[in-house]
Amino acid sequence: MTLDLRRYTHANAAEARPLLVRLYGDVYTGDPVRDDDAFAQRLAGQTASPGWVGVIEYRDGEPVAYAYGMPLPADTDWWTRTAPHLPVDDDLVREDGARTFTLAEIGVRAAWRGTGLARRLHDVLLHDRPEERVVLRVLTARPRLIATYRAWGYEAAPGVPDDAKVRAMIRPTESRPDAE
């Protein structure tokens, strides 16, 4: 089996986009949240960010998993869309363009789930990031995924209402719980 991890940046994002759209469709086959058109539009906007970075894992020449993200810009609406209950002047939501990296997407094809591949891509993507923290969004209807992120060192952003559909999770970029 040949393993191949390829890195992408804003500069070569056009090469990665069709692969990511295809992978997204495969990862979310049968999932009620799957929306290929919305994903493609979101991806186009995200890859336009100069700080966008991504990784795609190939096994025997076939893409099987991906992860990507980018720094949150100073004028981001990420926090107001994700955690509107937080005051806009709260230090937690303060962004300066270099403080926070957002893990926008991570996906693994069904045949490769449970192999540690998601964690590997996560760690490769975040390795040597200059930001002080990383954030992500997760649907509250996915408790196993929330538990996975907790095991990776993420904590829920404070004060999320019980009826929230999306949870913001956060951790320091240098946190490596399994390396301690």
For the ranges 12-21, 47-56, 119-128, 162-171, the lowest mean pLDDT is seen at 162-171
HSE of 164 in the Cβ direction (CA atoms, 13 Å)? 21
Residue 125 has pLDDT above 90, yes or no: yes
- Going by pLDDT thresholds of 50, 70 and 90, the confidence category of residue 7 is very high
* CATH code given to domain 3-179: 3.40.630.30
Residue 165: predicted pLDDT: 86
Tell me what the mean pLDDT of segment 9-17 comes to: 95
Structure tokens at 94: 């303060």
pLDDT per position as a tens digit, 52-95: 999 999 998 899 999 999 999 999 999 988 887 777 677 888 99
Residue 179: predicted pLDDT: 37
pLDDT per position as a tens digit, 32-45: 888 899 999 999 99
Structure tokens at 157: 């952003």
DSSP state of 132: S
The answer to whether 138 and 101 have CB atoms below 8 angstroms apart is no
Residue 13 has pLDDT above 80, yes or no: yes
Residue 86: predicted pLDDT: 74
Helix (H) or strand (E) holding 156: strand 155-156
Q: In whole angstroms, what separates CA 2 from the centre of its chain? A: 25
For the ranges 4-18, 59-73, 82-96, 135-149, the lowest mean pLDDT is seen at 82-96
Pairing relationship of beta strands 100-108 and 133-139 according to DSSP bridges? parallel
Identify the CA nearest to 142 among candidates 38, 53, 28: 28
Residue 44: predicted pLDDT: 96
Mean pLDDT of the chain: 90
The answer to whether 180 and 153 have CB atoms below 8 angstroms apart is no
